[in-house]
């Protein structure tokens, strides 16, 4: 079975993880700090906190920014549910913004329109969480301009775009955002098994995150001198969102291969572009000028309704051919929980609705072979050409 994505683990990863098991610590040890320092250097960030997942990173980011029931958070309608959940955990209100039909990212024009609409009602936006969908960065310069104009905080859900650049700058995410969240799930550009991190240039946020990651525990030398070496205090609520040494070891090893992994995914995308470019019924992924796409996803778009072809049947056909496709994502406004709680109206998300009906992710991962790429493209083309 050729899946839409999978991890790449080599001998160097296995050896590094094995060596970590021989150390004195398998959690809360020196490899976490080493991993965090490598991430800071690689992504040009002043501070980094490794956490147990991208979801944990989003949740802690909201906590650090002080989200509560009085806050309104805006985010893309086309994102994984974790982006919204992070705000809901903090009891904040959310609203969804339609997407730009080219990049499939949050539409900056519609975002400003929503900000103005709320401002007229006396409601200020607390934060915008923008997802770099599929590996193509959002229009971060424009988002940053809106941030300055309307005085809100910016969080980059960067889980798809690890290794992407704007103007050749891999540190664009930290440059324009208050918080940047990574996921190191197995299908991402590099993996820790499960895990993630938060990058920020703000020391105050960093100090809060460091405590909140581990139950809010504070160990103070002066307090220990008075009360005993075992003493610690809890000054604010926290969670067990720690990453283990074993996960960190895998991350350290994997990070060394990130550039070659991104290069391979871009090469695969280039081959797909060549194989599909002459078929005008497909919309291929875009890469805007001065933006480097990391191709976490390679998403094709096809107008199933126009050609009266069943998307469900297409997926079933491909599965019989041992090719597993995926859809990223079911829009948030379609889920029962969100419909009941927030009363979202799909008429406000015409681009996202069209995208959901037309988009499908095809296999793109490090170890995919030229033969598999050609087979996948052959079966996709055959299916549609026989029905149009």
CA distances from 339 to 8, 135, 221, 312 (A): 38, 28, 50, 23
CA distances from 373 to 274, 301, 327, 358, 379 (A): 11, 18, 19, 21, 10
Residue span(s) of the chain under CATH 3.90.1150.10 come to: 259-385
For the segment 59-73, the average pLDDT, to the nearest whole number, is 98
Please write the tens of the pLDDT for every residue from 161-202. Answer: 999 999 999 999 999 999 999 999 999 999 999 999 999 999
For the segment 228-256, the average pLDDT, to the nearest whole number, is 94
Q: Spelled out in words, what is the top-level CATH class assigned to the domain 259-385?
A: alpha beta
- Helices marked H in the chain: 11-21, 30-43, 54-64, 81-89, 108-120, 140-150, 172-176, 203-212, 221-227, 245-255, 258-276, 311-320, 336-342, 350-358, 370-385
Residue span(s) of the chain under CATH 3.40.640.10 come to: 11-257
Pick the CATH number of 11-257 from 3.30.70.890, 3.40.640.10, 3.30.420.40, 3.30.1490.100: 3.40.640.10
Please write the tens of the pLDDT for every residue from 307-359. Answer: 999 999 999 999 999 999 999 999 999 999 999 999 999 999 999 999 999 99
pLDDT tops 90 at residue 247 = yes
pLDDT tops 80 at residue 26 = yes
pLDDT score, position 221: 67
DSSP one-letter string for 330-346:
--GGGSHHHHHHH---G
For the segment 259-274, the average pLDDT, to the nearest whole number, is 99
């Amino acid at each position: 079975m050729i899946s839409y994505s999978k991890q790449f683990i080599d001998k160097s990863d296995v050896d590094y993880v094995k060596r970590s098991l021989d150390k004195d610590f398998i959690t809360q040890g020196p490899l976490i700090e080493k991993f965090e320092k490598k991430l800071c250097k690689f992504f040009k960030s002043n501070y980094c906190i490794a956490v147990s997942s991208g979801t944990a990173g989003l949740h802690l980011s909201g906590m650090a920014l002080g989200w509560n029931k009085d806050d309104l958070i805006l985010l893309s309608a086309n994102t994984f549910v974790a982006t919204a959940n992070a705000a809901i955990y903090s009891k904040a209100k959310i609203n969804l913004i339609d997407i730009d039909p080219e990049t499939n990212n949050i539409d900056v024009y519609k975002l400003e329109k929503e900000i103005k609409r709320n401002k007229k009602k006396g409601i200020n936006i607390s934060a915008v969480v923008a997802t770099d969908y599929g590996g193509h960065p959002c229009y971060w310069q424009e988002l940053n301009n809106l941030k300055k104009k309307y005085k809100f905080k910016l969080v980059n859900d960067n889980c798809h775009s690890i290794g992407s650049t704007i103007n050749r700058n891999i540190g664009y995410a930290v440059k324009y955002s208050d918080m940047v969240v990574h996921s190191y799930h197995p299908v991402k550009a590099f993996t820790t098994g499960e895990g993630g991190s938060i990058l920020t240039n703000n020391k105050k946020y960093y100090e809060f995150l460091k405590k909140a990651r581990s139950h809010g525990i504070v160990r103070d030398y002066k307090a220990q001198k008075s009360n005993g070496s075992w003493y610690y205090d809890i000054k604010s609520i926290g969670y067990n969102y720690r990453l283990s040494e074993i996960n960190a070891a895998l991350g350290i090893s994997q990070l060394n291969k990130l550039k070659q992994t991104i290069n391979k995914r871009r090469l695969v995308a280039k081959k797909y572009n060549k194989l599909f470019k002459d078929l005008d019924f497909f919309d291929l992924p875009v890469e805007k000028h001065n933006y480097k796409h990391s191709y976490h996803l390679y998403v094709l778009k096809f107008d199933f309704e126009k050609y009266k072809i069943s998307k469900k049947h297409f997926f079933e056909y491909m599965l019989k051919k041992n090719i597993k496709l995926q859809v990223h994502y079911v829009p948030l406004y379609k889920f029962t929980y969100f419909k009941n709680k927030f009363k979202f109206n799909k008429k406000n998300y015409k681009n996202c609705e069209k995208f959901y009906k037309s988009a499908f992710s095809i296999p793109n991962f490090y170890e995919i072979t030229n033969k598999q790429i050609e087979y996948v493209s052959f079966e996709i083309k055959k299916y549609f050409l026989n029905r149009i």
